[in-house]
A and B are shown apart, each in its own frame.
Chain A
Amino acid sequence: MDLHEKSAGGAIVAAAAGRIDLSNADSFKDALSASLVRAKTALILDLSGVEYISSAGLRALMIVFKTAKAENKGFGIAALQPLLVEIFTISRFNQVFPLFDNVRDGVAKLAPDALSQLDARS
């Protein structure tokens, strides 16, 4: 699965699109892990283009989140569609991951030094 990635300072904003389920959860995890390697301070995942995520996709997020914590990097998820908000709530992942209404809020919280660069690009 391809992620649309942009960097701002030491932070990476990675955007996914479509459905994340058992069929592509492994490639999603690999792509997200690669983005985390490139992120110096924080990885913000933009899910505004994702219409559905299954348990396998949520599990992939959990693995990357644990890696980020171990490497002392920030990890947050931004811009969930309403359906994804429900899935995160029902599965209780809303209590695990830092969730943000939009990418800018995520960067502001997890990588404030990168905010000016993000704003300059948008």
Chain B
Amino acid sequence: MKVIFWGTRGSLPTPLNAKAVRKKLVNALVKGAGKNLDTPQKAEAFCEQELNFAEGSTFGGNSSCVQVDVGGPDYLICDLGSGVREFALAAIAKHGPKQPQTYHILVSHVHWDHIMGFPFFIPCFIPGNRIILYSCHAKLEQAIRGQNHEPCFPVEFESLGAKIEFVTLETDKAYDICGAKVTGTPQMHGNDSYGYRIEKDGKTVVYTTDSEHKPEDKAEMQRAADFFQDADLVIFDAMYSLADSVSLKEDWGHSSNVIGVELCQMAGAKKLCLFHHEPVYDDARLEGVFHETIRFEEITRTDTKLDICIAYDGLILDL
């Protein structure tokens, strides 16, 4: 199983602006001064060895979209944030626009950052493609149709060329989707949200974004941990600090890196991936959160190590 992150930002696409790019360039040039970086190979090696991730790259700014490659001919995608546009371009580049494909898309909920990529999802326009949208959220079809409708968008849903189907899932019930076992669970988030557990060939990925967890609620913490049980990868909404999530931003429907570590430790999960990044956090701050999370796992570890990673647009994880 392979997981490819096409959009990892929370709430709103957050492109890197000119000032931020210039700052990275200036920093890199100063660090590389006098190092004889006169070939692309030398410069690449310098970036790899001498710059940290935030200095030499970016976490990216597309909103939520994650591909789970379960090995079959069809595609399985979680959420339709702005990252789905780049996924579609890559898929079309691989197969060509005239080769019909089937896309299975799990949607966590219908807040705009999780569906905004659909009007620009090129496979929708191509006859022969089959697109199946699944969600435990009862209003998915209403939201998708409403988005592809005047005055919000000039291309009406009915005019799209692909065959598009909607499937409403029941929570806590296993379905065979794209050859994988998929189970949904309700999450604490305004207007409802759902997490998905995806299992195939002995590997398990949990996609759980836009979900708040109340640390004092033992039953809900245990229910979440049971849903994550023994997962190889938990893609987790770590948008806020713990302090923010229980004070200023309580009931805003998001969680923290600290809760992510605690739940994964309770669940015996193998890897935690920090996801749905706060738009106001720049690359340096996200890198700081990543290293702090690694340290938090170290000081709270009981027996088995929990691997920590942080999602960025373009990250590929092999499970």
A residues with a Cβ closer than 8 A to B are 22, 25-26, 29, 52, 54-56, 58-60, 62, 83, 86-87, 89-93, 95-96
Confirm or deny: B190 has a beta carbon within 8 angstroms of a beta carbon on chain A. no
Contact of A90 with B296 at beta-carbon distance under 8 Å, contacts A22-B221, A96-B247 already known: yes
> Which one of B214, B216, B241 lies within 8 Å of A91 (CB-CB)?
B241
Interface size class of B (residues with CB under 8 A): 20 to 34
The answer to whether B247 and A62 touch across the interface, beta carbons within 8 angstroms, is: yes
Confirm or deny: B65 has a beta carbon within 8 angstroms of a beta carbon on chain A. no
Complex alpha-carbon distance, A90 and B296, angstroms? 7
Confirm or deny: B208 has a beta carbon within 8 angstroms of a beta carbon on chain A. no
The answer to whether A83 and B247 touch across the interface, beta carbons within 8 angstroms, is: no
Confirm or deny: B107 has a beta carbon within 8 angstroms of a beta carbon on chain A. no
Please name all residues of chain A whose beta carbon is closer than 8 Å to the beta carbon of B300 when the two chains form the complex: 52, 54
Q: What 9 pairs across the A-B complex have the smallest Cβ distances?
A: A55-B215, A92-B241, A91-B242, A92-B243, A56-B215, A90-B292, A59-B215, A93-B243, A90-B296
A-B contact list, 14 entries, CB within 8 Å: A54-B300, A55-B215, A55-B242, A56-B215, A58-B243, A58-B246, A59-B214, A59-B215, A62-B243, A62-B247, A90-B257, A90-B293, A90-B296, A91-B258
Confirm or deny: B162 has a beta carbon within 8 angstroms of a beta carbon on chain A. no
Chain B CB within 10 A, most for which of A22, A62, A86, A90:
A90
Please name all residues of chain A whose beta carbon is closer than 8 Å to the beta carbon of B221 when the two chains form the complex: 22
> Which one of B216, B218, B247 lies within 8 Å of A60 (CB-CB)?
B216
Please name all residues of chain A whose beta carbon is closer than 8 Å to the beta carbon of B243 when the two chains form the complex: 58, 62, 91-93, 95-96
Complex alpha-carbon distance, A43 and B285, angstroms? 34
The answer to whether B299 and A86 touch across the interface, beta carbons within 8 angstroms, is: yes
- 17 other contacts beyond A92-B241, A92-B242, with CB at 8 A cut-off? A55-B215, A55-B246, A55-B258, A56-B216, A59-B215, A59-B216, A59-B246, A62-B243, A62-B246, A83-B299, A86-B299, A90-B258, A90-B292, A91-B242, A91-B243, A91-B256, A96-B247
